[in-house]
């Protein structure tokens, strides 16, 4: 008889795991993926014809370490804030790869934020200067919130600066996080945040550059996570040739990541990435000097979802969390 399926809401997941719990597993998964052990079918991303920018996506992954097949269905609706709804939402189904049993259906939005923020943190752990002291978080939405917590855990930061185009969003995140950190958290303009930063994380859905070239000091590391579609961009294109560039998956990042508009315009070649972050995890050279500017361009890969939902599933089984349903 097939195993029961576990149903988990976003609240269930938020209660059981923390973003910081996922960083090591995501790092190991990104390294293992580059060693060729895992299975990553192509992403399917398509327009939903509703007369305004609307996208749906199916993102799948399977890893040996997780022994799980995950299939995520996601949506993005740019105008949702006007409806008082989040811009992005998703759901993940997890299957036993051998038997095809449906083991879990869960909220995919929080796991997506966790795995993306964990990847941003891995980017900073692998590429930022060891003496980085100021972290700037650009974008105070759901991804920015998790990025702040994850990236702040990988270097001994003494100052955290948050920027959002809606200053109240930035204040709200700073208020929420102030109780969790002993270091000062501040709200700042994009310029002040970037000029002060040793590490910058971008987590917006902007379609205009926010991070300007002249604000970025030598030695800075950027983990750019918000641009996951060709239309989105967070950094001024002139900054990109100054950076030693890494991606999570180069083929995807070239068409949908932070560099994609610069590649289309011919400002950067298709060989602009030095390599993948997974290769750096596996020992390839990352940062080569204290002056180099490094950038990790993360568009998200299915094996990151697989990895994070394995942890969620195991905890749910162990602690008896969520509802159970027998479909047959
Ligand atoms: N790379 C990945 O794997 C991955 C995963 C999840 C989400 N994302 C992307 O990350 C982005 C953020 O997602 P989210 O769920 O946090 O969205 P959200 O709507 O919760 O938050 C986005 C925040 O960015 C701010 N913002 C937008 N434009 C800005 C600008 N020009 N200057 C300053 N702030 C600006 C908004 O005010 C908002 O607070 C989206 O583009 C989403 O598609 C990427």
User: Helices 109-127 and 302-319: crossing angle, nearest 10°?
Assistant: 120
pTM of the model: 0.96
Predicted confidence at residue 258, as pLDDT, reads 97
Predicted pLDDT at 2: 82
> How does the average pLDDT of the chain come out, rounded?
96
**Residue 216: DSSP 8-state:** P
CA of 321 to the centre of ligand 1 (A): 30
Q: Tokens for 169?
A: 């969003």
pLDDT at position 99 is: 96
Residue 120 tokens, joined = 């941003």
pLDDT at 279: 98
Residue 243 bridge partners (DSSP): 293
Q: Under CATH, which number does the domain 130-300 receive? A: 3.40.50.720
Fold of the 5-112+303-325 domain:
ornithine cyclodeaminase, domain 1 (3.30.1780)
* Residue spans per domain, the chain: 5-112+303-325, 130-300
For ligand 1, mutation pick of 204, 212, 256, 259 (most atoms within 8 Å of CB): 204
Please tell me if the CB atom of residue 173 comes closer than 6 angstroms to any atom of ligand 1. Answer: no
Beta bridge mates, 58: 44, 73
Q: What is the pLDDT of residues 257-314, one digit of tens each?
A: 999 999 999 999 999 999 999 999 999 999 999 999 999 999 999 999 999 999 999 9
Q: 196 C-alpha to center of ligand 1: Å?
A: 22
Q: Is 34's pLDDT higher than 90?
A: yes
Read off the pLDDT of each residue in 167-196 and give the average, rounded to a whole number. 96
The upper half-sphere exposure of residue 194, i.e. CA atoms within 13 Å in the direction of its Cβ, equals: 24
Residue 248 in contact with ligand 1 by CB distance below 6 A: no
CA-nearest residue for atom 3, ligand 1, is: 300
The confidence score (pLDDT) of residue 8 equals 97
Using CA atoms of 134, 168, 191, 160 in order, give the dihedral in degrees to the nearest 10. 0
Q: Tell the residue nearest (CA) to atom 26 of ligand 1.
A: 204
Phi, psi (deg, nearest 5) at residue 248: -80, -45
Atom of ligand 1 nearest to the CA of 113: 6
**What is the Cα–Cα distance from 9 to 323, expressed in whole angstroms?**
9
Distance from the CA of 3 to the center of ligand 1, in angstroms? 37
In this structure, are strands 5-8 and 323-325 parallel, antiparallel, or unpaired?
Answer: antiparallel
Ligand 1 centre distance from Cα of residue 141 (Å): 6
Confidence band for 79, pLDDT divided at 50, 70 and 90: very high
pLDDT in tens, 212-268: 999 999 999 999 999 999 999 999 999 999 999 999 999 999 999 999 999 999 999
Q: In this model, does residue 328 exceed pLDDT 90?
A: no
Residues 217 and 196 sit within 8 Å (Cβ to Cβ):
no
pLDDT above 90: residue 1: no
Task: Tell me which residue of 231, 128, 239 sits closest to 190, measured CA to CA.
Answer: 239
């Amino acid at each position: 008889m097939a195993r029961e399926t576990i149903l988990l809401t976003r609240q269930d997941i938020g209660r059981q795991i923390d973003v910081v719990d996922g960083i090591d597993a995501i790092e190991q998964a990104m390294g293992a993926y580059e060693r060729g052990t895992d299975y990553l079918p192509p992403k399917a991303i398509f327009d939903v014809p509703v007369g305004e920018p609307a996208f749906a996506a199916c993102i799948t992954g399977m890893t040996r370490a997780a022994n799980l097949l995950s299939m995520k269905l996601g949506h993005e609706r740019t105008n949702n804030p006007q409806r008082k709804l989040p811009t992005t939402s998703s759901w993940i189904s997890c299957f036993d790869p051998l038997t095809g049993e449906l083991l879990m259906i869960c909220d995919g939005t929080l796991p997506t934020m966790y795995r993306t923020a964990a990847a941003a943190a891995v980017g900073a752990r692998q590429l930022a200067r060891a003496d980085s002291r100021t972290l700037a978080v650009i974008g105070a939405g759901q991804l920015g919130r998790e990025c702040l917590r994850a990236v702040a855990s990988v270097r001994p930061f003494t100052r955290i600066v948050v920027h959002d185009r809606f200053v109240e969003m930035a204040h709200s995140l700073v208020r929420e996080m102030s109780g969790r950190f002993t270091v000062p958290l501040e709200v700042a303009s994009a310029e002040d945040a970037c000029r002060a930063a040793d590490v910058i994380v971008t987590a917006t859905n902007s379609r205009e550059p926010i991070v300007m070239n002249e604000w970025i000091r030598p030695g800075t590391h950027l983990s750019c996570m918000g641009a996951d579609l060709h239309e989105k961009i967070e950094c001024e294109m002139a900054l990109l040739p100054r950076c030693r560039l890494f991606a999570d998956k180069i083929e995807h990042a070239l068409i949908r990541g932070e560099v994609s508009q610069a590649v289309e315009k011919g400002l950067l070649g298709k060989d602009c990435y030095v390599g993948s972050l997974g290769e750096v995890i596996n020992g390839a050279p990352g940062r080569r000097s204290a002056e180099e500017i490094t950038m990790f361009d993360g568009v998200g890969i299915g094996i990151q979802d697989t990895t994070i939902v394995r942890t969620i599933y195991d905890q749910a089984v162990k602690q008896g969390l969520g509802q159970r349903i027998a479909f047959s």
